[in-house]
Amino acid sequence: MRSAIFILLAVVSLSCGDLKPKEVDLYYNIQSLMVEQAAALTADKVELQKFAIVNGDSSTSAFVPDSLGWADEFQIIMDADINKPALRGQYSISEGDDENSNLKILAYTANSETLPIQSFKVFYLDKVENLKRIEVRMKESNSIFQASKNIILDLDDIKNQNRITHYSIKGFQKMLLQDRVDFNVRCSLKY
């Protein structure tokens, strides 16, 4: 009887020894979304059509980025990552219905004006996995630098996959002793 209990305890303790705490995302994980999107866009050879206005000067381009190109294009969006250990507890979370559509909104709002990402909104249909839009408002300010960026990322069902269809980045930056630079970049993806 004692040996049976000893064997049972040994089996239980050995089976529990490999358990590791699982990292759970507290906030929306923009990093994994953008990495997954970049991989799919690269594989599908999706064309990027970009229209940019910087201080009134406009330019248009169209090209098919490779994986490094998509990483470069999405860097500013990936910089909007609020799912970092240092930011835990720094955002209030609310959920509700969008007044302008049939979508639901998962909103993260900064608890402090000093955080560079002031708001991060996820618009989705029925469940978060059915993502339709992300809106991010970023703001930085110190004695020599001031900047503001508004990012909008639209997604839709393409070939039964949730894929980015459009994104835009609008804002400004101002450095001490330099002129303010206003910019507006709008991108469309052609599948």
Q: Where exactly are the structural domains of the chain?
A: 27-190
pLDDT for 24:
47
pTM reported for the whole predicted model: 0.84
Distance of alpha carbon 152 from alpha carbon 137, whole angstroms = 9
List all residues 6 or more positions away from 103 whose beta carbon is below 8 Å from its beta carbon: 97, 123, 124, 125, 132, 133
pLDDT for 119:
98
Are the C-beta atoms of 61 and 185 separated by less than 8 Å? no
Distance of alpha carbon 28 from alpha carbon 131, whole angstroms = 11
Query: Mean pLDDT in each 10-residue stretch from start to end of the chain (191 residues)?
Result: 41 41 69 96 98 97 98 96 94 96 97 96 96 97 95 96 97 95 98 95
Distance of alpha carbon 110 from alpha carbon 78, whole angstroms = 17
pLDDT for 26:
80
Name residue 168's beta-bridge partners.
Answer: 152, 186
According to DSSP, the β-strands at 181-190 and 117-124 are: unpaired
pLDDT for 66:
97
